[in-house]
Structures are given as C-alpha cells and as structure tokens.
A = this chain, B = another copy of it.
Amino acid sequence: MSETVKYLLEENRLPKDWYNIVADLPRRPDPVLHPGTLRPIGPQDLEPLFPMALIAQEVATERMIEIPEPVREVYRQWRPSPLYRARRLEAALDTPARIYYKYEGVSPAGSHKPNTAVAQAFYNKEAGVRRLTTETGAGQWGSALAFAGAVFGLEVRVYMVRVSFEQKPYRKALMEAWGAECVASPSSETNAGRQILAEHPNSPGSLGIAISEAVEVAAQRADTKYSLGSVLNHVLMHQTVIGQEAMAQLEMAEDYPDIIVGCTGGGSNFAGIAFPFIGAGLRGAPKPRVIACEPSACPSLTRGRYAYDFGDTGHLTPLVKMHTLGSTFVPPGFHAGGLRYHGMAPLVSLLQELGLIESRAYTQLSCFESGIQFARTEGILPAPEANHAVTGAVEEALLCKEDGIARTILLNLCGHGHFDMQAYIDYQAGKLEDRAYDEAELAAAFATLPQVAVA
C-alpha cells in the first residue's frame, strides 16, 4: 500500500478573486447575438434573465474579479477543497507519472457546481430577485442551485430532463430536501414545453428543451431570473477557484502539471481547473498540455462545428460562437447526463480554436472501467462525468509508462457518484453498451445551424 498524500490549503488561502481568462487571450471572444435580430446584444437585452452584476461579469475584461465576502463565507464550508496525490492509482497502473486529483465532491451538493450556484444566488438576492429558474440534466446543477437557494433564501424551480427525472428520483428528492421545486421537462407549464409535447407526447426531454422552459418562465416574471450551470463566461469564471487552489496546492507539493485533464459537457469544471494554468502559461509560466475529455456519444469538441448556434432547442436564448452539434441534436442514451449538451462553452471552444487545448472522446464503457479502478484504488467513487477525466488521466499515465517519463498529471475529479449508483449497477451487470450517435441525425442537426453574417 502506498501513502495517502493530501494537500490542504489553510482557509486563508481561499482565493480572493475569480480569474477571467479573457484578459490574457490573444483575441476577444466573438460577440453574443440576439436570437431575433442576429445582431450583437447589449447588456439590457440580458436583463430579463440575469442581474446586472452577472451581466457585467459576462462581458468583463479585467483579469481578476473580487469574490464578495458572503460568497467566500459559504465557500468556506468545503473550500479550499483537497488536492490528492493518487499514489494507489499510480501503483496499480505501475506508472512513473505523478497523478494529482482535485476533489470537488466535498461540496454539500457533491460536485463543483455550487462554486457558481452560490455566486449566482448571491448576486440575484442582492438584486432583489425572489425566484430562480433553471434546467438540469443529471441533476448535479439543479441540486447545487437548490442548495444555494436554501442558503440565500431564494425560491428555486428546476426543469429536469424527463428521462433523468424518471431515472433519478433521488436527485429530485435532494433538491426538494433543500426546498426547491423540480419539474419534469418538457412540461405543460410553458409554451416551449407544450409545443414539444404536442409533437412528441413521449419526449424524453433534453437540456436544450429544459433551458427553453426555464428561460421562458424567467423572462415572463419580474421577480424571477434564470440561472445557468455552465457554458457562459461568468459561470466558467466562478469555477476558477478550483484551478487557483490547485496551483497553490501543487506549489506545496513542489510540483507543476505537465498535463491537465478535465471532462467537458458545457465546459465549466474543465475551465475551472484549466484556465488559471492556461492563463499563467500565456503570461510566461510553463504551458501544460490541457486535454478536454468528452463522451464519444456527444462529441461537441471533437466532432462539432465551430459556429454560431442557439443554446436551447426552442431558440429563445442568444446565439454564441461555439463548438456545436446543432441545437436539435439528441445524443443516444448514456449515463453521464451532465455531458449531454449539444454545445460547448464559447471560451473553451475559442481556446481549442487558438490551439491552447486538445480534446478527446471516450466511450462510456471505458469510462466506467476507469471509474471502478479509481474507486478500488483511491477509495472515491466518481460521478460518471468525472470518469471521463479519470480515463484521460489513466491514458496519459500509461503513455508515461511506455515512454518511461515521469510526467505530472492533474485531473479534476468534479463530483462523486452517490446519485449515479444505477449506472454502476447496470455497468457491473454488463447491461451498459456503447451506443454511437446517428451520423444522419448529426448531419440533420448541422443543417439547422443558423446562417449568421457576423464574422
């Protein structure tokens, strides 16, 4: 047995600022477009959905943005989160690599999502908002916002993708324990939902549909705003506490990553661990290789087009420039519900275009295999989403063995799998399969990409 090594930061090392990578990029992100006019939007266009403080963060260009003290107070319940050296996994792989994992499953909701949920709830509360709407796939984001709503005294209404709603009643129960309401999407409460149900009464739902519902409700009510768990610039920025802490923790270990891996659905946990290191690299520090690990059944970074597209199925959201499979794309069934999104965060997409990150797609069976190996060595059962990052790290560690080089690998273990046990049951019973997406469907989804004149 090898030694357990944990790098814990003192509480006074909790980051004081979020890091905004826009300040260090060689070019500015492309503008966000209005869904009606297809012209660049202004802050006032977003006001029905978000409080001004968050809109300002969405377009901010300064490098560091101060974290309000009430947000840091809530963060302190579980932050700084631990960084571990995965010595038992290294031994099992017989690799010379040094593998570190940052563990975000210590938050009350069990993932990295509260890093932004708490911030978003705070700014909405400050702005006098009474109620938040949002969507959730696997339920990690919905439960994070339910937790944050409980802390700040906000009502929370979550539209949960119907197939997950039915498969994962315990996620709904967790949200309700925190006092939130959770509704299966498509629902009959919204125009967007009713429209889908009219055509497809048995629709399993999708993140794109659920976003349409949540946005529609928020836009209609003055006391209600909308909250998104990934994709947007401010959301990714809130997650950079992860990477900033990891950097300080690796300093304690007198190490620096050669390789950083994270899983990508909308891109926020990946951005959280990677952006501070990429930014440091752009300012002269060593440049780690940064690898985004996505599911091969929903491969926005490895197969998507880099184009303007809608964030939702109902085309209510603004358009952003991103890697997208097309807003109508519905991936085949697989168990990492948090990675089932047709698009990718504009900033992550831009970084790939700039050659600052790589991306890879993995099948779910290979990911569950890595997850079980991780559980049996490191003792923590990862969420199916996090298994993609573990798979990427294991692949790199085995390459280190082949090459005989002791590289340092940093992975973001973004959440635990306590609410994903059915997936593990199915995997261990041999019931899971790797289902590919339909190429014709993908082509059809690509054909829906809006024609946009803006460069």
Contacts and interface: CB of A to CB of B under 8 A. Distances in A.
Interface of A: 1, 3-6, 8, 10-11, 70, 73-74, 76-77, 84, 88, 106, 108, 110, 147, 150-153, 169-170, 173-174, 176-179, 372, 375-377, 379-381, 418-419, 421-422, 424-425, 428
5 tightest A-B CB contacts, nearest first: A170-B421, A418-B418, A108-B379, A173-B421, A173-B425
A162 B381 CA distance: 24
A150 B88 CA distance: 11
A320 to B, nearest CB: 32
Contacts of A380: 108
B150 A74 contact: no
B77 A84 contact: yes
A174 B371 CA distance: 12
A150 B110 contact: no
A158 to B, nearest CB: 15
A43 to B, nearest CB: 28
Nearest to A2: B73
Contacts of A376: 150, 177-179
Q: How many copies of this protein are present in the complex?
A: 2
Contact of A77 (B6, B70, B150, B169): B6
A419 to B, nearest CB: 7
A425 B170 CA distance: 8
A187 to B, nearest CB: 20
B425 A379 contact: no
A173 B428 contact: yes
B70 A1 contact: yes
A362 to B, nearest CB: 19
Given A177-B424, A418-B419, 6 more contacts: A151-B379, A169-B421, A170-B421, A173-B424, A178-B381, A179-B376
A377 B376 CA distance: 34
Contacts of A70: 1
B173 A77 contact: no
Nearest to A375: B177
Contacts of A106: 106
Contact of A11 (B1, B6, B173, B422): B6
Contacts of A4: 73-74, 76-77
Contacts of A169: 421, 425
A424 to B, nearest CB: 5
A179 B73 CA distance: 39
Contacts of A428: 173, 176-177
A194 B84 CA distance: 46
A249 to B, nearest CB: 13
A279 to B, nearest CB: 28
Contacts of A152: 1
A80 to B, nearest CB: 9
Contacts of A174: 381, 418, 421, 424
A73 B179 CA distance: 39
A116 to B, nearest CB: 16
A141 to B, nearest CB: 16
A10 B74 CA distance: 21
A110 to B, nearest CB: 7
